[in-house]
Amino acid sequence: MELKRVVVTGLGALTPVGKNVQETWNSLISGVSGAGPITLFDASKFKTRFACEVKDFDPNEHFDRKEARKLDRYAQLAVVAAKEAVEDSGLDNKKTDRDRVGVIFASGIGGIGTFEQEVGYYFQNEENGPRFNPFFIPKMISDIAAGHISIMYGFRGPNFGTVSACASSTNAAISAFDLIRLGKADAIVTGGAEAAITISGMGGFNAMNALSVRNDSPETASRPFSASRDGFVMGEGGVSLANAQFMTYPVHCFTFDHF
Q: Give pLDDT tens digits for 27-38.
A: 999 999 999 999
Give dist(CA 134, CA 139) in Å, integer: 9
Per-chain mean pLDDT for the chain? 92
Asked whether 192 and 259 are in contact (CB, 8 A), the reply is no
pLDDT of residue 115: 96
DSSP assignments along 1-66, one per residue: -PPPPEEEEEEEEEBTTBSSHHHHHHHHHTT----EE--SS--TTSS--EEBPPTT--GGGTS-HH
pLDDT band at 253 (very low <50, low <70, confident <90, very high): very low
High-pLDDT (> 70) share of the chain, %: 95
End-to-end Cα distance, the chain: 27
pLDDT band at 208 (very low <50, low <70, confident <90, very high): very high
Mean pLDDT of 39-52: 98
pLDDT band at 128 (very low <50, low <70, confident <90, very high): confident
pLDDT exceeds cutoff 60 at 248: no
pLDDT of residue 8: 95
pLDDT exceeds cutoff 60 at 254: no
pLDDT band at 121 (very low <50, low <70, confident <90, very high): confident
3-state secondary structure 210-224: CECCCCCCHHHCCCC
Q: How far is CA 141 from CA 99, 160, 167, 254, in A?
A: 24, 11, 18, 31
Q: Give pLDDT tens digits for 160-193.
A: 999 999 999 999 999 999 999 999 999 999 999 9
pLDDT of residue 155: 97
pLDDT of residue 234: 97
pLDDT exceeds cutoff 90 at 93: no
Mean pLDDT of 193-218: 97
